[in-house]
C-alpha cells in the first residue's frame, strides 16, 4: 500500500488510498429497480455478474413489493438452484435476499426521485451478515 501511494503521489501529491475488506464468497446476483414510464417502478432480481448479460435470467415485479413477491422472484429465475447450493457451493441466504428486495421497494417509496438502482454484483453469502453489494449505482431524476 505504501508503494502504491508513493507512486500515486508522484503525479498527485494529494492522492489517498481507501482500503476495504475483500468481497465475501457467495452467489453473484443482481438486484435493482427502474421506473417504467407506463407501469411505474419495477424491481428486478437475477443472477449477477456476467450471467445477467449472457443469460438474461431475471425476474421483475411491479412496486409495491410484498414479502411473497420477493420470495417468488428468487424461485422464478432459471438459476434458482444455484441459490440453494450447487456442486459444492454454499446456498445463498434467501432471507437476506428477500430483505434487500424489500428494502429497495422501501427506498423507491421514500425517494420517488430515484430513477434506477443497480447492485451488480451483489454477493449473496450463506449466512446473515455474509452478503455484500460489490458495485452499486443509483440514478436520480433532476
pLDDT in tens, 29-65: 999 999 999 999 999 999 997 788 778 899 999 999 9
- Report pLDDT for 131: 95
Could you tell me the three cell numbers for 25? Answer: 464468497
What is the distance between the alpha carbons of residues 55 and 53, in angstroms, rounded to a whole number? 6
What is the distance between the alpha carbons of residues 64 and 44, in angstroms, rounded to a whole number? 12
- Report pLDDT for 86: 84
Element of type H or E holding 137:
strand 136-140
Alpha helices in the chain (DSSP H): 2-11, 50-55, 67-76, 80-83, 94-110
- Report pLDDT for 40: 92
Instruction: Determine the 3-state secondary structure of 124 from DSSP.
Output: strand
Closest CA to 123 of 133, 136, 115: 133
What is the distance between the alpha carbons of residues 29 and 114, in angstroms, rounded to a whole number? 21
Give the chain's mean pLDDT: 93
Amino acid at each position: 500500500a505504501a508503494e502504491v501511494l508513493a507512486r500515486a503521489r508522484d503525479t498527485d501529491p494529494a492522492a489517498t488510498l481507501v482500503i476495504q475488506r475483500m468481497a465475501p464468497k457467495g452467489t453473484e446476483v443482481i438486484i435493482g429497480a427502474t421506473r417504467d414510464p407506463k407501469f411505474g417502478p419495477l424491481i428486478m432480481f437475477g443472477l449477477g455478474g456476467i450471467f445477467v448479460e449472457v443469460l438474461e435470467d431475471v425476474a421483475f415485479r411491479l412496486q409495491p413489493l410484498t414479502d411473497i413477491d420477493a420470495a417468488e422472484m428468487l424461485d422464478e429465475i432459471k438459476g434458482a438452484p444455484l441459490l440453494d447450493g450447487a456442486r459444492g457451493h454454499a446456498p445463498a441466504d434467501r432471507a437476506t435476499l428477500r430483505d434487500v428486495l424489500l428494502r429497495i421497494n422501501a427506498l423507491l417509496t421514500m425517494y420517488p426521485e430515484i430513477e434506477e438502482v443497480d447492485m451488480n454484483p451483489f454477493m449473496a453469502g450463506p449466512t446473515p451478515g455474509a452478503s455484500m453489494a460489490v458495485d452499486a449505482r443509483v440514478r436520480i431524476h433532476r
